[in-house]
């Protein structure tokens, strides 16, 4: 067998940490890469050696083959593991690794090139007798040619990047008028994420399930299908919940899909780990989608039910191990994986990069794969996934219960995440009964799925937030530090605090309160409901309250001046204190377009002095590898545009000003 004593991980974040963990268990030296803004990232702290790639964007760093090859030469590593995303399915990169006398942990460059192109792989699958959907390469077509290629009866259709995955470069089109713009958007996203703008169009199957087969193949022709995964819960065509095995497959259908996957892999002499993806329609027909010639994000659920370490097997296959004696018995129990994202589900899944103050999840209950920790920075440049949370149970019900406990007891604050949405999905009846498909989040809007604490617990949390604000205010006093918390001259009048919360079930809370001279709550009213609350204990991290004879302890943190995170045993909630007076510095001119997130301006869709309608697209911001449109708030004329293509903008930055149309009254 070939010796691998050192591995360069050509990736970042969660998957880099995951590979490093297994490599270290195998006694292999790990070498990591990082961009200049990733210098303090978790993967740089757990690797044995780290090389900094000068630059911040993906194209300058993790997608730059020339820079990574120089690191291979300098570090003199034996092998390279590409992880997923970035260059993991780039045949030129795999060839460059091999040309530098280094082992590429994955299939050959020829296989990557053949199967990495979704268009080529579809043709190959069709030749192998596997059902496929017809596809048309539309990368270079004009608008007129596009409309000749796609007819109204073909709708809906899916525009899809030929290389890569993860929902980048994908758009569903229901109206021919939207076709050209969808193609151009998909091309830009594909170019940014995968350095290739090739996109194609195919029929979009509505309400299907997404089924995939894990493949393992050695250098001697032994090829195995290692069970299936279902990944139907998606947003923006990117998976957020995966599980194994699929709860609804019959033994016959399971075997047919697995045999098709193995047949496709064998047809190209596939080696190492890979995944063959299918869609399953409502009638039980399955169609080949693509083959990912790499490790999948959701590989932990397969590991949980098989007992295999897929990263270890990848390395061993690259070393020359035969899988002839690999034992793959029936699945052991059930596993479910949740992807925790830095995004706001209630604002069309808008990316929400920023600073993570606290990040704690009970790893005694679930497996946590992450590239972040306390006091981590989530950049707007990279993918918004913060972590994968995986639960394994004797059955699906047990796995779901573990995930609900882990999420409700988690301490995650500082940024907006999809945590409450994930809990809501876990508790929704269609999901519980495994009646899911890729349209799940179109049938169930995030606002209807969100996990909400009950009113009593939210009101108690609002009291805790009020106490936290009062304690914080008292700690800032210098000459009056001996005064009671919440002290004021006119004791007969109640103080009033207004909060907004991050949960749409409780958008606003008004708290009226007073303290007595002994620091006890004298009165407390939340949204006109009187509470009999007493402070049991207060310290810098925890507040104990006795409310109507119910004792509860609340964790809390105050950050960004007016934001208070409160954690309860049943879940957490973040409050934002509404200031009594608006800071003049925060006011903006009427008609201003505000950046909804940090990001990069990639396109400006109107010129100054142009007339625009309310809701019209004016700018496009790319954040976390996805394009986000900024629309005009009013109808009128573009008075000024304050940014240009390529500019990095911050959250709430003014991008443009629209002068409102004046209506003349007769």
- pLDDT value for 582: 57
Are 156 and 204 a contacting pair, CB within 8 Å? yes
The tens digit of pLDDT for each residue in 236-285 reads 889 999 999 999 999 999 999 999 999 999 999 999 999 999 999 999 99
User: What pLDDT shows up at residue 230?
Assistant: 98
What is the reported pLDDT for 483? 42
pLDDT digits (tens, 9 = 90+) for 121-131: 998 999 999 99
pLDDT above 60 (res 484): no
For residue 464, pLDDT beyond 50: yes
Q: Is 460 within 8 Å of 547 (Cβ atoms)?
A: yes
Residue with tokens 């409102």: 660
Domain with CATH 3.30.1490.20 in the chain: 134-203
Confidence of residue 635 (pLDDT cuts 50, 70, 90): confident
- CATH placement of domain 134-203: 3.30.1490.20
Task: Give the pLDDT confidence of 3-31 residue by residue, as tens digits.
Answer: 999 999 999 999 999 999 999 999 999 99
pLDDT-derived band at 623, boundaries 50, 70, 90: confident
> pLDDT tens for residues 413-462?
999 999 999 999 999 999 999 999 999 999 999 999 989 999 999 999 99
Global pTM reads 0.86
Q: Per CATH, the architecture of 588-660 is what?
A: Beta Barrel (2.40)
CATH no., domain 455-577: 3.30.700.30
User: Among 551, 553, 463, 566, which residue's Cα sits nearest to residue 514?
Assistant: 463
CATH, domain 6-105, list 3.30.420.40, 3.40.50.1970, 3.40.50.20, 2.60.120.10: 3.40.50.20
User: What's the pLDDT score for residue 2?
Assistant: 86
> 209-449 belongs to which homologous superfamily?
ATP-grasp fold, B domain (3.30.470.20)
End-to-end alpha carbon distance in the chain: 89
Q: Strand, coil or helix: what is 512?
A: strand
CB neighbourhood size of 73 (10 A) = 12
- Angstrom distance (rounded) from CA 550 to CA 268: 65
Kindly report the number of other CB atoms within 10 A of residue 353's CB atom.
21
Domain with CATH 3.30.470.20 in the chain: 209-449
Least confident of 169-173, 451-455, 492-496: 492-496
Is the pLDDT assigned to residue 522 strictly greater than 90? no
User: Looking at 14, 202, 228, 290, which residue is catalytic?
Assistant: 290
CA–CA separation, 75 and 351 (whole Å):
36
Q: Tell me what pLDDT residue 166 has.
A: 65
Residue 156: is the preceding peptide bond cis (ω within 30°)?
Answer: yes
Residue 646 CB coordination number (10 Å):
8
Three-state DSSP class for residue 488: coil
What digits encode the pLDDT tens for the residues 42-90?
999 999 999 999 999 999 999 999 999 999 999 999 999 999 999 999 9
Q: How many CB atoms lie within 10 A of CB 605?
A: 16
Q: Residue 3's CB: how many other CB atoms inside 10 A? A: 11
Domain with CATH 3.40.50.20 in the chain: 6-105
- 3-state secondary structure at position 80: strand
Q: What is the CA radius of gyration of the chain?
A: 27
What residue ranges of the chain are covered by domains with CATH 3.30.700.30?
A: 455-577
Q: DSSP label at 550? A: E
Can 290 be counted among the known catalytic residues?
yes
| pLDDT confidence tier of residue 587, bands split at 50, 70 and 90 | low
């Amino acid at each position: 067998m070939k010796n691998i004593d050192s591995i360069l991980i050509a990736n970042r974040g969660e998957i880099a940490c995951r590979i490093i963990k297994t490599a270290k268990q195998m006694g292999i030296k790990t070498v990591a890469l990082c961009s200049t803004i990733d210098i303090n990232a978790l993967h740089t702290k757990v690797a044995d050696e780290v090389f900094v790639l000068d630059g911040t964007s993906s194209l300058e760093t993790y997608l730059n083959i020339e820079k990574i090859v120089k690191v291979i030469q300098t570090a003199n590593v034996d092998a390279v593991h590409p992880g997923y995303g970035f260059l993991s399915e780039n045949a030129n990169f795999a060839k460059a690794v091999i040309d530098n006398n280094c082992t590429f942990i994955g299939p050959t460059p020829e296989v990557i090139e053949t199967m990495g192109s979704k268009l080529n792989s579809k043709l190959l699958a069709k030749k192998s007798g596997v059902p496929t959907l017809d596809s048309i390469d539309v990368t270079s077509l004009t608008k007129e040619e596009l409309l000749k290629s796609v007819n109204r009866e073909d709708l809906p259709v899916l525009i899809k990047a030929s290389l890569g995955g993860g929902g980048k470069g994908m758009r569903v089109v229901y109206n021919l008028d939207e076709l050209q713009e969808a193609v151009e958007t998909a091309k830009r996203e594909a170019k940014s994420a995968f350095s290739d703008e090739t996109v194609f169009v195919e029929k979009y199957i509505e309400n299907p399930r997404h089924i995939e087969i894990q493949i393992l193949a050695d250098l001697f022709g032994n090829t195995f299908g290692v069970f299936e995964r279902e990944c139907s819960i998606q947003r923006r065509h990117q998976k957020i919940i995966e599980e194994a095995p699929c709860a609804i497959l019959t033994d016959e259908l399971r075997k047919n899909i697995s045999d098709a996957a193995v047949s496709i892999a064998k047809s190209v002499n596939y080696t190492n780990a890979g995944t063959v993806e299918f869609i399953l329609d409502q009638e039980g027909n399955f169609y080949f989608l693509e083959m990912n010639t790499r490790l999948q994000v959701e590989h932990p659920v397969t590991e949980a039910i098989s007992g295999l370490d897929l990263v270890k097997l990848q390395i061993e296959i690259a070393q020359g191990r035969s899988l002839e004696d690999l034992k793959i018995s029936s699945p052991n129990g059930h596993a479910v994986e949740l992807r925790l994202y830095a995004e706001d589900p209630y604002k069309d899944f808008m990316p929400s990069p920023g600073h993570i103050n606290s990040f704690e999840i009970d790893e005694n209950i679930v497996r946590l794969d992450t590239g972040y920790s306390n006091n981590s920075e989530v950049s707007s440049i990279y993918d918004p996934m913060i972590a994968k949370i995986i639960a394994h149970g004797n059955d699906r019900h047990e796995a779901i219960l573990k995930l609900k406990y882990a999420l409700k007891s988690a301490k995650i604050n500082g940024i907006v995440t999809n945590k409450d949405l994930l809990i809501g999905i876990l508790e929704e009846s269609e999901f519980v009964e495994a009646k899911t498909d890729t349209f799940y989040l179109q049938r169930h809007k995030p606002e209807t799925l969100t996990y909400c604490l009950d009113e009593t617990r939210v009101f108690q949390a609002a009291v805790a937030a009020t106490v936290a604000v009062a304690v914080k205010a008292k700690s800032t006093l210098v000459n009056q530090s001996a005064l009671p918390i919440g002290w004021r001259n006119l004791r007969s009048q109640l103080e009033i605090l207004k909060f907004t919360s991050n949960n749409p079930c409780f958008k606003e809370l008004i708290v009226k309160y007073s303290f007595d001279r002994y620091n006890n709550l004298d009165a407390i009213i939340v949204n006109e409901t009187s509470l009999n609350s007493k402070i049991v204990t207060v310290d810098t991290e925890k507040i104990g309250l006795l409310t109507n004879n119910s004792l509860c302890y609340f964790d809390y943190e105050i950050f960004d001046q007016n934001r208070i995170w409160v954690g309860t045993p049943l879940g957490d909630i973040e409050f934002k204190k509404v200031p009594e007076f608006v800071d003049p510095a925060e006011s903006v001119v009427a008609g201003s377009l505000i950046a909804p997130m940090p990001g990069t301006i990639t396109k400006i869709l109107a010129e100054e002095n142009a007339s625009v309608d309310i809701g019209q697209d004016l700018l496009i911001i790319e954040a976390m590898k996805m394009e986000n449109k900024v629309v005009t708030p009013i109808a009128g004329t573009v008075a000024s545009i304050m940014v240009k293509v390529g500019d990095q903008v911050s959250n709430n930055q003014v991008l443009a000003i629209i002068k409102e149309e004046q209506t003349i009254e007769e």
